[in-house]
Amino acid sequence: MRKKYMVGGLFSPQDADRIEDVLSQIDGVKSLQVNRKARTVEVEFEERVAGTDLVDHIESALTSLGYSVLEEVGRE
């Protein structure tokens, strides 16, 4: 499963690095891509743990870093 989020406050390369560092450490995150220009974060979840709790954890992590999750852009 993949989810893509529009993230408020994502401007600099340091923002992208910070998000990548934190989200990549979350159990169940298979891969992620941060697009600073589009201000999006796309996360691919491992099938074994994909679910609402993990999605909530990703959104909480972004919020705790000081970013806002503006909207879910897409899901596969």
pLDDT tens by residue, 3-42 = 999 999 999 999 999 999 999 999 999 999 999 999 999 9
> Residue 55 has what pLDDT?
84
- DSSP lists the bridge partners of residue 69 as 7
Which amino acid, 55? V
Token reading at 57: 């954890």
Q: Name the one residue in this structure whose structure tokens are 């995150």.
A: 29
- Could you give the strand order of the β-sheet that contains 40-45, starting from the edge strand earlier in sequence? 29-35, 40-45, 2-8, 68-75
Quick one: CATH architecture of 2-75?
A: 2-Layer Sandwich (3.30)
Q: Over range 61-68, report the average pLDDT.
A: 96
